[in-house]
Structure 1
Amino acid sequence: MLLLIDAGNTRVKWALMPTARLSQPDSLGRWDDSGSVEHAQVGQLVDTWRNAHVSRVILSNVAGADMRAELECALLSVLGLKPVPLEWFTSVPQLAGLRNGYRNPAQLGCDRFASAIAARALYPDEPLIVATCGTATTVDAVSAEGVFIGGMILPGLGLMASSLARNTAQLPEVAASLPVSTPFADHTDAAIVSGCIAAQAGAIERAVAAHASSGAAVRCILSGGAADLITPHLSFSTTRVDNLVLIGLQTVAASSLSVLPVTTAPSC
């Protein structure tokens, strides 16, 4: 079995599928099992993965060195003495049909690169805006020719709202999920959320408009936990795709037997 792992800023997502099915058409995002846990619950995944007969592991991690070590130790418990290297996904100049246009390709967040690979694999030969609305919101442009052009990073919807409430005198802490039906709110809680949603939607709309300046129709792909809150406030239709990073890792797995830096799990 192939085990894909996406360690994000807040949660760890994972998916399992038979390696033999990688070459089958329409297999992207179709897994035998998958799930998501908070960082503190990573140890609980050992029991879930132990009986999966894992033969290959590909990981994306933007949660830091401590999370990497925790995942390595968890996988050591799962794999035991089996010689299964851990393939750590990193951003490189070119991979799986996508060219990385960052000035320093290695500086691009591996989650953003994986998401762009997934978007390109799902919608080849289309100009794309890939907006992931999570702890942070990233808005990235991919050309129809398969070039990651660049993008934007801004605080996510929840982080933006809580930061405003925390750092402005007498403003309440509000939930980012507070319904907003008009841009001009008549009470402070809704005014905070309305402003934050307008900022998120505005960044995405600005990116789509800039990418469409060449005249081609741009597909806007939305992913992440806050996507459903932002979508109704956009002036155009979008394509919702969950688990873009995992789909990107699956695309990379299908493109080569091994193209990533590998390590063996440490002693824990």
Structure 2
Amino acid sequence: MSKIMENNTPGVRSGLLLIDAGNTRIKWAFTDLPSPDDSAATPIWRASGSVAHADVSDLSTAWSGLTVTRVLISNVAGEAIAERLQHQLQLVFGKNISPEWFASSQQHAGVRNAYRNPSQLGCDRFASAIGAHRLYPQQTLLLATCGTATTIDLIEADGVFIGGMILPGLGLMASALARGTAHLPMILDQVVISRPFADNTEDAIISGCIAAQVGAISTALAFQRRDHPATEITCILTGGSAPVIGPHLPMPYKSVDHLVLIGLWTSVI
């Protein structure tokens, strides 16, 4: 199933198509190509949307009519999705457009990657770090991305990506529990609970999984506060499960959508 949102704001300078191919869905946005002196913290999306992996062919319809001069892709979905994206791009734009594939590096767009092997860091996490640093410069950031997997990353105020934690996402955690335990039902991660101690099995699974997600984020914050008690930390929450997890967090946080796409846009400035 695809989701398309149009924003036909006039005055496009040059068309930039940004694509975030994640583990479950492919998100995209069309915007102006930024200039080196662009002072805007975030881009204006002229059009945007998302599709499931099974619906990649819908992208040719969504992109028809766009005047694209550059394409930048973050892909963690594997080679098969990369090939299907390449095919859709050629269908719409022909061979005049050669997509660029974003990759993690040691330093880019104001962020220094302190991973032991910088290229091993997922390109989506690096793009998100770049986007977060763009939105909240000179702030120490705890960035929790709540998707198929949940990643919790630390970016220092000077733009150093320190590292992070990876755990199963909310939906994956609930599904694994349901598959691995006799007679437990399959649960969707969109279920909302009203109290922590549930009186039925479905809500009890979700309550436990939310508690695990919240506990991981809270523990990461506690570690940083213990080691750097004088440092103010801004918590950022993003990803498809963020609206479910966010209300249960005990600390203030900023909710940001499309952080990978913001990071890709920032990377071309």
How far residue 182 of structure 1 moved from its aligned partner, in angstroms, is 2.5
Q: Specify the alignment match of 1:130 in structure 2.
A: 143
Match of 2:252 in 1: 237
Superposition RMSD in Å: 1.4
Matched, 1:223 2:238: yes
Return the alpha-carbon distance in structure 2 between the equivalents of residues 175 and 44 of structure 1: 25
1:208 is matched with: 221
Q: Structure 2 CA distance, aligned partners of 1:27 and 1:152?
A: 27
Task: Summarize the alignment of residues 143-162 of structure 1 with structure 2, pairs less than 5 Å apart.
Answer: 143-162=156-175
- Which of 66, 84, 87 lines up with 1:52 in the alignment? 66
1:10-32 CA-to-partner distances (Å, cap 9, x unmatched) read 11111111225674322514211
What corresponds to 1:247 in structure 2?
Answer: 262
**2:5 maps to which residue?**
none
What whole-Å deviation, never above 9, does each CA across 1:98-119 have from its counterpart, x for those lacking one? 0001000010000001001000
The one-letter amino acid paired with 1:52 is L
2:83 matched to 1:69? yes
Deviates more, 1:169-178 or 1:127-136: 169-178
What residue ranges of structure 1 are gaps of 5+ in the alignment? 255-268
In the alignment, is residue 9 of structure 1 matched against residue 23 of structure 2? yes
**Cα shift at 1:184:** 2.0
Give the 3 Å change call, closer, same or farther, for CA 188–152 of structure 1 in structure 2. Answer: same
Deviates more, 1:139-148 or 1:47-56: 47-56
- CA distance in 2 between counterparts of 1:172 and 1:71 reads 35
Q: What residue ranges of structure 2 are gaps of 5+ in the alignment? A: 1-14
**Aligned positions of 1:187-202 closer than 5 A:** 187-202=200-215
Asked if 1 retains the 8 angstrom alpha-carbon contact of 2:32 and 2:43, the reply is no
- Asked if the contact 2:41–2:134 (Cα under 8 Å) also holds between the matched residues in 1, the reply is no
The equivalent of 1:33 in structure 2 is 47
In the superposition, relative to structure 1, how do residues 124 and 134 fare at CA in structure 2: closer, same or farther (>3 Å)? Answer: same
Quick check: 1:21–1:27 contact (8 Å CA) kept in 2?
no
1:115 alignment partner in structure 2: 128
Whole-Å separation in 2 of the counterparts to 1:246 and 1:194: 31
- Which protein, 1 or 2, shows the higher relative CO under an 8 Å CA cutoff with sep ≥ 6? 1
Aligned-residue offset at 1:146: 0.8
- Which deviates the most, 40-49 or 140-149? 40-49
Q: Which one is further off, 12-21 or 55-64? A: 12-21
Q: How many residues align?
A: 253
- 1:168–1:30 CA distance, 2 compared to 1 (3 A): same
Q: Secondary structure at the match of 1:5?
A: strand
Q: Is 2:33 the partner of 1:19?
A: yes
For residue 232 of structure 1, what is the amino acid of its counterpart? Answer: P
Aligned twin of 1:170 = 183
Give the structure-2-normalised TM-score: 0.90
Contact 2:18 2:73 in 1 (8 A): yes
Measure, in 2, the Cα distance between the counterparts of 1:78 and 1:151.
Answer: 38
Instruction: Write the distance in 2 (CA, Å) between the matches of 1:216 and 1:29.
Output: 29
Residue aligned with 1:169, SS: coil
Contact 1:132 1:227 in 2 (8 A): yes
What is the distance in 2 between the residues matched to 1:20 and 1:187? 52
Residue 31 of structure 1 aligns with an amino acid whose one-letter code is W
Q: Which residue of 1 aligns with 2:6?
A: none
